[in-house]
Amino acid sequence: MATATSNIRSPSITLFGKGTVSYQRTAAPFQIPQFPLNRPRLTALFASLHDGNNKDDGSNKITKSVGLEELFEDSSYDVVSKDSPFHPRPLSSTQFSNSVSAGSRLRVAYQGVRGAYSEAAAEKAYPNCEAVPCDQFDAAFEAVEKWIVDRAVLPIENSLGGSIHRNYDLLLRHSLHIVGEVKLAVRHCLLANHGVRVEDLQRVLSHPQALAQCENTLTKLGLSREATDDTALAAKYVAFNKLKDTGAVASSSAAKIYGLNILAEDVQDYCDNVTRFLMLAREPIIPGVEKPFKTSIVFSLEEGPGVLFKGLAVFALRQINLTKIESRPLRNQPLRASDDSNNGSKYFDYLFYVDFEASMAEERAQNALRHLKEFATFLRVLGSYPVDTTML
């Protein structure tokens, strides 16, 4: 399997790979720091972030690397009052200057409109929070970075549909930290306007993954399918347009919000339908050992036989269990020629996202990353956070 061969230079990437970081004419080798439990701040835990003026000069260094405090020290943000109607319009990246992050309630961004499963996940993760809808995943990341909201809760994988690749890519592009996870049981309902029966329906609207998760049921009903950006948005569209031949696959909460009738409950093909969400913040949390922790990292490796095996072995040698591994293409250099001059092959370069069951406060986790750093071309800790052990 081919892997990346050089460091990735991006304004929002924290590097633990080979090379040096240069800032204000100083240079120091990359190190994986110690993680004592009594440290007042953890910014140094995940090294430095990079500002938008980084330049790639062709050398093996990144210029103008700044710490998290420095990143926001000189930043100013307009704070303007914002009314909250019953059905607020989702934020887009162009509307951030009209929002406010004030008051005692935690503001938590999610993708979608009211009634979305992501809203339920945000409220489960942060009870009594003010859930702020965003039109796209990108907008939710930006809302946190620009201090419009305090947190974001976004899906990363589903037990039936698999990984949400877009959010893996955004984790690398942005500078946010994973501070927790929450798992939500997804129970799809078939919704329609009052007075509409199942036999009246000709088509159904919903998010592509929701439609795929209910494929068998919808096929039996003989309904055509049309995709929307969000399950709750589909319910909202059916209700506001008073459609008589169209239903929506969404949550029971969406039915209540938009005044729709529930024609059928639990229409998903499999009952064990669970989505895992990540809780994102501007700063990391202090990892502990008093309860189960999980750590998420992303790294790349040189091309060669057994290199990925070697990379994963650093965890097996220390009895660290891996709960997730995901590969994503390295977009700014997707193809690389073979080092063998007699072989004209080209390889895809990849990044590897790994979740493992250990806290960065544990010596074995620190030693595993030190070991991995010896041969990884790029390494970033995305977060070390408590495992969601709640019953669904």
More confident of the two residues 383 and 390: 383
pLDDT digits (tens, 9 = 90+) for 17-47: 333 333 333 333 334 444 444 333 333 333 3
Confidence of residue 344 (pLDDT cuts 50, 70, 90): low
* pLDDT the model gives residue 237: 97
Q: Please state, as a whole number, how many other Cβ atoms lie within 10 Å of the Cβ of residue 249.
A: 28
Size of the chain in residues:
392
Q: What percent of the chain has pLDDT over 70?
A: 69
Q: Is the pLDDT of residue 334 over 80?
A: no
Give the residue among 31, 239, 230 at the shortest CA–CA distance from 134. 230
Residue 277 among the catalytic residues: yes
pLDDT at 308 over 90: yes
Q: Dihedral of CA 219/224/226/232: which sign?
A: negative
Query: In this prediction, what percent of the chain has a pLDDT beyond 90?
Result: 63
DSSP state for residue 304 in the 8-state scheme: S
The token pair that represents 265 in the structure block = 């409950």
Query: With a threshold of 0.75, does the pTM exceed it?
Result: no
Residue 303: per-residue pLDDT = 82
pLDDT tens for residues 153-202?
999 999 988 999 999 999 999 999 999 999 999 999 999 999 999 999 99
Phi/psi zone of residue 388: left (φ > 0), alpha (ψ -120 to 50 degrees), beta? beta
Please report which confidence band the pLDDT of residue 280 belongs to, taking 50, 70 and 90 as the band edges: very high
pLDDT at 224: 95
What average pLDDT does the segment 349-378 reach?
96
Q: What is the average pLDDT score of the chain?
A: 78
List strand residue ranges (DSSP E) for 160-223, in order.
162-163, 177-185, 189-192, 203-206
The burial of 318, by beta-carbon neighbours within 10 Å (0-12 exposed, 13-18 middle, 19 or more buried), is given as middle
Confidence band, pLDDT 50/70/90 cuts, at residue 77: very low
One-letter-per-residue 3-state SS of 330-365: CCCCCEEECCCCCCCCEEECEEEEEEECCCCCCHHH
Pairwise CA distance, residues 305 & 298, whole Å: 20
Residue 5 annotated in active site: no
Residue ranges of domains in the chain, CATH in brackets: 107-185 (3.40.190.10), 188-270 (3.40.190.10), 285-386 (3.30.70.260)
Crossing angle for the helix pair 231-240 and 117-125, to the nearest 10 degrees: 130
Neighbouring CB atoms inside 10 A of 163's CB total 16
Alpha-carbon radius of gyration of the chain? 23
* CA-based nearest residue to 256, from 111, 114, 133, 392: 114
Amino acid occupying residue 323: T
pLDDT for res 271: 87
pLDDT for residue 392 = 58
* More confident site: 343 or 265: 265
For 130-157, what is the mean pLDDT?
A: 96
Please give the full DSSP string across 245-277, using - where no structure is assigned: SEEEEE-HHHHHHHT-EEEEE--SS-S--EEEE
Q: What is the predicted pLDDT for the residue at 40? A: 37
Q: What is the DSSP letter of 229?
A: S
Phi, psi for 195 (deg, rounded to 5): 95, -10
**Higher-pLDDT residue of 332, 156:** 156
Q: What is the mean pLDDT of residues 65-81?
A: 31
Q: What is the pLDDT of residue 91?
A: 52
Q: Pick the catalytic residue from 16, 137, 141, 277.
A: 277
Q: Whose CA is closest to 121, among 180, 164, 191, 176?
A: 180
- Say how far apart CA 199 and CA 221 lie, in whole Å: 8
* 3-class state of residue 382 by DSSP: strand
Residue of 231, 246, 275, 295 with catalytic role: 275
Residue 323: both structure tokens together: 């709960």
CA 230 and chain centroid, separation: 17
